[in-house]
Structure 1
Amino acid sequence: MADGKRRQRDVDGGWGWVIVGCCFMVTVCTRAVTRCISIFFVEFQAEFGADYAATAWIHSLVDCTTMLCAPLGSLVGNRWSCRVSVMLGGLLSSVGLLLSSFSNSLELLYLTMGVLTGLGFALCYTPSIVMVGSYFLQRRALAYGVAMSGSGIGTFVLAPAVQLLIERYSWRGALLLLSAFVSNMCVCGALLRPITAQEQEEQEEEGEKPGLVSLPDAELTLRLREPEDGIKEFRFLLLPDFLCLAVSFLFLASGCSLPFVYLVPYALSAGVPHQQAAFLMSILGVLDIVGNVTFGWLTDRRCLKAYRLACYVLAVAMEGLCCLFVPLLRSFPLLVPFAVLYGYFDGAYVALIPVVTADLVGAPYLSSALGVVYFLHAIPFLLSPPVGGWLVDVTGSYTPTFFLSGAALLTSAVVISAITGIHRCRRHLKASKHNPRPLCLPDQSQRSISSARAT
């Protein structure tokens, strides 16, 4: 009985909050560190004599590899355990940053920081998010909001810290210290206790046949699968709603990373001092936290649960509008409101991605679905920063780059809104066909019609 009560406390609480803390730390070490790579751009350009487009490939490769290999993280988590995946990923990413600190060419940075570190991030990111979904049912959006706020808090703390480390120890020393910091993901991975293993142990103690039949459907995220179930794991790919969401994600990924890559260089070109330019990233991080937690809490309310997708579309559209106004902001006081609004809505949509995906495909498919979702981010993350840098090199202005970002984000919001509206109209039409209005009229109406015809 006591074990049963403890198990109930672990769902939507108990050890579940430890899982949230681990996912929070993994998000700090992956997404926040990736955002702070742009702070190294000026140093890399001075060290290797590279232009914006060539330097931007580093950030692109980290993001692209992280998202491109997201299904690999799901595969390792499903076949072995999320614990193994996160610990292995923490080791690889730490080694990648360590080797980067000794790089003597931009091409070597592409390999060590771009590919190796990105692969480690991929093995950590998706499995840690999936673990949160397996421990939280009723308060899932809030749990994801807290866990994903690590991106914002990490950016707020790391952006000025990285700038200070670069000034004091050079960019090589800063990367060396970041390598030690990222290795903490190995500790986080060790704390990711699989809920299915716990269930099996309790069932064996009670003399029951081990299995997952007794688990509710929503808790089957980390269920054991038979070998022939491999194809069935991706059955959700045939859902029209998921395909619409996938198209929207392609446009989203094409625009969302550009402000994080080019905000600091743009601020420096506008005459903003280095510390204030780095502080803009901190502001982005703080408001990212607020967006994570507040949107997570609000969309868990009963009145908004049915409108989670609408809240997601609103957040993406507002990000796009913010980017269109950046070329008008040429000073630190004017750039602060942009950082506030963009950071808030960025945190909002990031927290809602796993929630909206889970609502769409169901918890049993969440691990595989998130792997596909983040995989869709890979190519846009790879191409958009170099394209943005090429636009800067060709035009000598950051205006086309931010316009590209805004247009992509607004297109993402329009696509998901339009296709969702079409699907709703089709559902209403089908419902009206299955439930047509009765053809038989009341007796009084029949008599009035008959009398009218007789006259």
Structure 2
Amino acid sequence: MVDVKQRSSEGSPPDGGWGWVIVGSCFMVTVCTRAVTRCISIFFTELQAHFGADYSETAWIHSLLDCTTMLFAPVGSLIGTRWSCRGTVMLGGLISSCGLLLSSFTSSLELLYVFMGVLTGLGFALCYTPAIALVGCYFRRRRALAYGVAVSGSGIGTFVLAPAVQRLIQRYTWRGALLVLSAFVANLCVCGALLRPITLRGEEADSEGEDRRGPVSPQDAQLAVKRSHQSAGGCSSLGASPSPSSSPSLPLLPGNPAPQVERRRCFSSWSSREYRFLLLPDFLLLAVSFLFLASGCSLPFVFLVPCALHAGVSHQHAAFLMSILGVVDIVGNITFGWLTDHRCLKPYRLTCYILSVAMEGLCCLLVPLLRSFPVLVPFAVLYGYFDGAYVALIPVVTSDVVGAQHLSSALGVVYFLHALPYLVSPPFAGWLVDITGSYTATFLLSGSAQLASALILCTAAGIRCCLHHPPAHKE
């Protein structure tokens, strides 16, 4: 049987076949990481009663989990790129499962910060980014649809896990529920085992430029082969000796630092190629907008259930709101992914992304007016749909900006930018709840941050349009 690396490197992304197994594995990775993270807020009431803590103290658990996941996302991307996506995800599954297992035996809130927040988040970071990036390597024409199906695991996972976790807490207490979640998260090791590696040429990996390439000249083909040999022989494995044909032989005398110098030179050269997208103005604007988005997007998932309970909604109905949000999130993932794959909408992917983020912000601004379960249901439907839409479009928009060959590293940076806002926003929002006695300021903060994110990209897109198409002057 021909090795998949050899077959894939000789052509374009397969757009199917084993790629759908990769999508299914990534789907389960998002269930075991993002959906579990969303359901952590269901434990807050029990933890507050057990440890005598307030909202701001318990919110640090969710903040540390989300922050660590995003903070170490570049580490997961780097290890997955340089070592193996399969091994990275399996290692992350083992670490996160151990983190939840240790959390079920903790006797203080500070230990929950370490085990449930930091250790579990580190495992999630090693799993999430490599799995997401590998989907983009297997798909070109149907990339948005593949991403939509893959990240819909967070929605369907929330729909299933929210009531299940609530039932587990009632039946086995919060410690037993964490023990069951630990076993569930261990399935990440199985998902990682299914992530078969694939290698694509840089030119083939560029989905937007591939269809526009003309015939390749013999000189270009010879140059491409030469570059591939240099990358494979020179810096593909750090510490490998340089080829005799590429550099003169050096006497390896005792204490000669040549191998170390060559190793550092190879790593520096690889890093400069891998992260050159950081200098793109479009990516910098996208990064700034992500900072504002991350400051507000996680707050509804943290405070929706406590807000509903504060409004007099029962525990079961409050957990059901999270289920509604999760199942509609799936619809947003898949429908926006399917729609933006059509030829007529491909040039407007960024516009669709901006629209979905702006609608999320408007939904949050209306939450202070919603004081009962029947009126909170429409919020859960609308917010869940547009949340699924923008989450599915983040890898697609990022790929459109940096190119598919840099997608893994770019996603690591993108998720890294979420780290600080994820760390600070929930405790700050919990502090607002403690001092005001209501959730109005919290949801106003969330909506304002998301509208600011959409406004930054909308302004940048308008400026670019004016620069590329200046108005005609009448003589």
- Residue ranges of structure 2 left out of the alignment (5+ in a row): 211-223, 225-230, 237-265
Query: What is the TM-score normalised by the length of structure 2?
Result: 0.84
Task: Show the counterpart of 1:277.
Answer: 318
Equivalent residues of 2:295, 2:422 under 8 A apart: yes
- Structure 1 residue 427 corresponds to structure 2 residue 468: yes
Q: Distance in 1 between matches of 2:202 and 2:146?
A: 26
Secondary structure of the residue that 1:268 maps to in structure 2?
helix
Identity %: 75
Task: Show the counterpart of 1:203.
Answer: none
Task: Show the counterpart of 2:254.
Answer: none
Q: Distance in 1 between matches of 2:61 and 2:428?
A: 13
Q: Distance in 2 between matches of 1:215 and 1:270?
A: 54
Mapping for residues 321-360 of structure 1, pairs under 5 Å: 321-360=362-401
Cα distance 1:9–1:180, how it changes in 2: closer, same or farther (>3 A)?
Answer: farther
Cα distance 1:47–1:351, how it changes in 2: closer, same or farther (>3 A)?
Answer: same
Q: Distance in 2 between matches of 1:215 and 1:379?
A: 35
Q: Distance in 2 between matches of 1:382 and 1:420?
A: 29
Task: Show the counterpart of 1:445.
Answer: none
- Structure 1 residue 49 corresponds to structure 2 residue 90: no
Q: CA deviation at 1:428?
A: 2.7
1:81-108 Cα shifts (integer Å, max 9, x gaps):
1111100100000000000000111000
Q: CA deviation at 1:230?
A: 1.4
Which of 72, 77, 89 aligns to 1:74? It is 77
Equivalent residues of 1:145, 1:295 under 8 A apart: yes
Which amino acid in 2 is paired with 1:108? L
Equivalent residues of 1:73, 1:123 under 8 A apart: yes
Secondary structure of the residue that 2:469 maps to in structure 1?
helix
Task: Show the counterpart of 1:243.
Answer: 284
Equivalent residues of 2:13, 2:137 under 8 A apart: no
- Structure 1 residue 18 corresponds to structure 2 residue 21: yes
Q: CA deviation at 1:296?
A: 0.1
Q: CA deviation at 1:215?
A: 5.0
Task: Show the counterpart of 1:40.
Answer: 43
1:421-449 Cα shifts (integer Å, max 9, x gaps):
112222234x99xxx99x9xxxxxxxxxx
Task: Show the counterpart of 1:151.
Answer: 154
Equivalent residues of 1:142, 1:293 under 8 A apart: yes
Task: Show the counterpart of 1:290.
Answer: 331
Equivalent residues of 2:13, 2:140 under 8 A apart: no
Cα distance 1:213–1:109, how it changes in 2: closer, same or farther (>3 A)?
Answer: closer
Mapping for residues 392-411 of structure 1, pairs under 5 Å: 392-411=433-452
Q: CA deviation at 1:229?
A: 1.5
Which amino acid in 2 is paired with 1:112? F
Equivalent residues of 1:19, 1:131 under 8 A apart: yes
Mapping for residues 372-391 of structure 1, pairs under 5 Å: 372-391=413-432
- Structure 1 residue 178 corresponds to structure 2 residue 181: yes
Which of 91, 96, 114 aligns to 1:93? It is 96
Q: Distance in 2 between matches of 1:406 and 1:213?
A: 39
Q: Distance in 1 between matches of 2:27 and 2:34?
A: 10
Which amino acid in 1 is paired with 2:137? S
Which amino acid in 1 is paired with 2:370? L
1:304-325 Cα shifts (integer Å, max 9, x gaps):
0000000000000000000011
Cα distance 1:182–1:315, how it changes in 2: closer, same or farther (>3 A)?
Answer: same
Mapping for residues 143-292 of structure 1, pairs under 5 Å: 143-196=146-199, 212=201, 215=204, 217-218=206-207, 226=236, 227=266, 228-292=269-333
Mapping for residues 290-329 of structure 1, pairs under 5 Å: 290-329=331-370
Cα distance 1:10–1:214, how it changes in 2: closer, same or farther (>3 A)?
Answer: closer
Structure showing greater radius of gyration is 1
Which amino acid in 1 is paired with 2:162? A
Cα distance 1:3–1:414, how it changes in 2: closer, same or farther (>3 A)?
Answer: same
Q: Distance in 2 between matches of 1:245 and 1:137?
A: 22
Equivalent residues of 2:299, 2:425 under 8 A apart: yes
Q: How many residue pairs align between the two structures? A: 418
Task: Show the counterpart of 1:128.
Answer: 131
Q: Distance in 1 between matches of 2:161 and 2:204?
A: 41
Cα distance 1:213–1:363, how it changes in 2: closer, same or farther (>3 A)?
Answer: closer
Q: Distance in 2 between matches of 1:213 and 1:286?
A: 37
Cα distance 1:349–1:217, how it changes in 2: closer, same or farther (>3 A)?
Answer: closer
Relative to structure 2, which stretch is displaced further, 43-52 or 415-424? 415-424
Task: Show the counterpart of 1:447.
Answer: none
Taking only aligned residues, the RMSD between alpha carbons, in angstroms, comes to 2.3
Q: CA deviation at 1:156?
A: 0.1
Secondary structure of the residue that 2:275 maps to in structure 1?
helix
Which amino acid in 2 is paired with 1:424? C
Relative to structure 2, which stretch is displaced further, 107-116 or 6-15? 6-15
Q: CA deviation at 1:407?
A: 0.4
- Residue ranges of structure 1 left out of the alignment (5+ in a row): 200-211, 440-455
Q: CA deviation at 1:2?
A: 9.3
Q: Distance in 1 between matches of 2:202 and 2:436?
A: 61
Secondary structure of the residue that 2:24 maps to in structure 1?
helix
Query: What is the TM-score normalised by the length of structure 1?
Result: 0.88
Equivalent residues of 1:241, 1:420 under 8 A apart: no
Which amino acid in 1 is paired with 2:19? G
Q: Distance in 2 between matches of 1:154 and 1:214?
A: 36
Which amino acid in 2 is paired with 1:93? S
Which amino acid in 2 is paired with 1:41? F
Equivalent residues of 2:202, 2:405 under 8 A apart: no
Task: Show the counterpart of 2:454.
Answer: 413
